[in-house]
Amino acid sequence: MKYFFTHIFKRKSSMGDRRIGLDQGLFVLSLIILIITVLLPIIMIVLRTFFVGTKLDWRLFPQIVFAPDNLSAIINTIKIAFFVTVFGTLLGLFYAWLIGRSDIPLKGVMKALFTIPYMFPPFFGAMAWSLLLAPRSGYLNKLFMQITGGSSPLLNINTIGGIVFVEVCYYFPFVFLQVVSALERMDPTLEESARIAGAGQWYVIRKITLPLVLPAIAAGAMLILISSLSHFGVPAILGFSNNIFTLPTKIYQLINRSAGSFQGIREGASLSILLVVVVVAALYLQKLVLRTGHYDIIKGKSMRPMLIKLRGAKIPLLTISLISLFVIVVVPLFMIFIVGFLKAYGLPLKLQNLTLRNYKYILGQSKMVKDSIVNSLFLSITSGVITMFLGVMIAYVVIKVKPRGKGFLEILSLLPYSIPGIVLAIGVILVWSGAFGVNLYNTIWIILIAYIARYVSFAMKSASASLEQVHYSLEEAARSCGATHLESLRDITIPLIRPGMIAGFFLIFLPAMRELTTSILLYGPFTRTLGVAIYAINSEGNTVQASALATVAIAIIVAGNLALRFITKDRKGL
């Protein structure tokens, strides 16, 4: 008995041991989960591409890559990504400068509008612009042909140029937000001291401001590049009808056409590897660019930067900005909204042609749509909660425990960030359709696993940001007051990062709610998601119903965003 007490006492006093126990457990658990959800799918893709059974087979890969169809998809992908990155960066940069450094009015309104494209999936934009600029049926093209009396459309959205345009509309905020925040945090005296040294406004922009925000520009541009390279929705909606394929859409087509056959999956896997290689090359490029510019530009007392007076250019620039915002943000949303109420697609946009029938159908009669809404809500909430906790656990291990091998854990958790959704989907199929004795194919669980793998990077990043602000001493103070390690975690650390966790949940919930790329390869007869349902209805030609359902999705997304804003608004302390 006496021995028992001293044993307990010892265990309690030597908290170091207990700490190692709990932390070690968390480390191993994180590692196992990440290996199963993230690493295994990638390994399976590599195995499928280069092995037949257990025999190494190098021939297939070059065969597939150099097939003319696939080669043109590769070229298209790179072409589109290149132009989207260039135009998106220029557009984002221009607006960032206008809002960050000029005296243009209505900055608040513009800034709020600029973040709207962020909220919606780009394929909504593709749908909306199809409604306007599809070569024969688009409203704008029809109007144009009526006026000119000819049969050639004003613009054809089903082209590479159209795809680039729509993607630019949705991806330029990456650069815009990065650069605006860099400009806002930048010490204004860096620019002022150049003015005093005799440099004029434009000289200062060229020699001081631009070089200083270069890291932000590069970071934003790389985000655009990677997003565009792995993007599925826009080229799928705008390109299929005109036989324009990119790597992601080609992979989708291969898998879809093969109906699960070995050869199809193998070809898809090979192209996936190629896509990953391209994305990793882009990431590496980003590292190279960012390495040259590692410095701190946030210093000094906060003072309003000197705004450049636009004088005569103010009104023209404001007009251009408002018009382009109108085109980028308002027009697509309005089109989707209004077409959702049309009796039939193609009817003139007049009051007598409007009806509630589409909503009645999708929300009342179509079981497929109802299923998809329920599925998406279930998937978004479940994957949001699970991934958020997973992210907290990994971030805790990486930041606070710092075990040997934390670098590996970090890389694993950030890996999905650079793996295109379509590739991840193939990996998940390869792992979870019986290869290891578990067959989840056609169930909702396979989508859930894919979502977790896809969003774990977001969760990990958001949790790290919160955890890094919780100083060691806070937890240590709890320990010194007699709390066990577990208690100090439960009572101090977790409550402190709770606002960050809630925000982290929404950062997963919102994109998961509109997810298309991964689910389109994984859905089964009863497991369509909202994105898949909209996409499917749209490609069946039921444009009005697709628009109505997209409007429903927009409403859900807006509600989620409002909730997120409401929650993050009264974050205290952290």
Point out which residues bind another protein (CB under 8 A): 187, 189-190, 192-201, 203, 207-208, 211-212, 214, 293, 295-297, 299-301, 306
Of 192 and 371, nearer to another protein (C-beta) is 192
Query: Nearest approach, Cβ of 109 to another protein (angstroms)?
Result: 16
d(CA 243, CA 73): 10
CB of 195 to another protein, least distance (A): 4
Write the CB contacts of 152 (distance below 8 Å, at least 6 apart in sequence). 145
Helix locations, 397-493, DSSP H: 406-414, 421-432, 444-468, 472-480, 485-488
Helices 262-291 and 247-258, packing angle to 10 deg = 160
Residue 181 CB, nearest distance to another protein (Å)?
A: 17
Quote the tokens at residue 449. Answer: 């696993």
Closer residue to another protein, CB minimum distance, 35 or 306 = 306
Give the nearest distance from C-beta 197 to another protein in angstroms.
4
Exposed, middle or buried: residue 298 (CB in 10 Å: 0-12, 13-18, 19+)?
Answer: exposed
Instruction: Please name the residues in contact with 229: beta carbons below 8 A apart, sequence gap of 6 or more.
Output: 77, 78, 81, 247, 275, 278, 279, 282, 420
Q: How far is the CB of 202 from another protein (least distance, A)?
A: 11
Would you say 189 or 258 has its CB closer to another protein? 189
Q: What is the DSSP string of 248-273?
A: HHHHHHHHHHHTT-HHHHHHHHHHHH
**236 Cβ contact partners less than 8 Å away, ≥ 6 residues apart:** 123, 248, 249, 252, 535
Say how many CA atoms lie within 13 Å of 152 toward its Cβ.
0
Residue partners of 116: CB distance under 8 A and separation at least 6:
329, 333
Beta carbon of residue 304, minimum distance to another protein (angstroms, whole number): 10
DSSP code of residue 306: P
Classify residue 172 by its DSSP letter. Answer: H
Q: Which is nearer to another protein, 191 or 515 (CB)?
A: 191
In the complex with another protein, the residue whose CB is nearer, 197 or 481, is 197
User: Could you tell me the smallest distance in angstroms from the CB atom of residue 303 to another protein?
Assistant: 8
Comparison of 119 and 306: residue with beta carbon closer to another protein: 306
Using DSSP, state whether 151 is helix, strand or coil.
Answer: coil
CB closer to another protein, 199 vs 368: 199
Q: Given the complex with another protein, which of 198 and 573 has the nearer CB atom? A: 198
Token code pair at residue 68: 């003319």
Yes or no: say if 173 and 118 are a contact pair by the CB < 8 Å rule: yes
- Shortest Å, Cβ 217 to another protein: 13
Q: What phi, psi does 305 have (nearest 5°)? A: -65, 155
Shortest spacing between CB 108 and another protein, in angstroms: 12
Burial of 179 (0-12, 13-18, 19+ CB in 10 A): buried
d(CA 444, CA 427): 16
Instruction: Give whichever of 256 and 292 is closer to another protein, judged by the CB atom.
Output: 292
Q: Estimate to the nearest angstrom the gap between the alpha carbon of 504 and the chain centroid.
A: 14
Q: What is the nearest approach in angstroms of another protein to the Cβ of residue 405?
A: 31
How far apart are the two ends of the chain, measured CA to CA in Å? 47
Q: How far is the CB of 200 from another protein (least distance, A)?
A: 5
Q: How far is C-alpha 275 from the chain's CA centre?
A: 17
Nearer to another protein, 293 or 560 (CB): 293
* Six-digit token string for 504: 């982290």
Nearer to another protein among residue 208 and residue 223 (C-beta):
208
**2 versus 301: smaller Cβ distance to another protein:** 301
What CA–CA distance (Å, rounded) separates 200 from 24?
59
Determine the Cα–Cα distance for residues 5 and 166; give it in Å rounded to an integer. Answer: 70
The distance of closest approach from Cβ of residue 285 to another protein in the complex, given in angstroms and rounded to an integer, is 20
Nearer to another protein among residue 20 and residue 199 (C-beta): 199
Smallest Cα–Cα separation from 233: which of 70, 335, 71, 120?
120
CB of 349 to another protein, least distance (A): 42
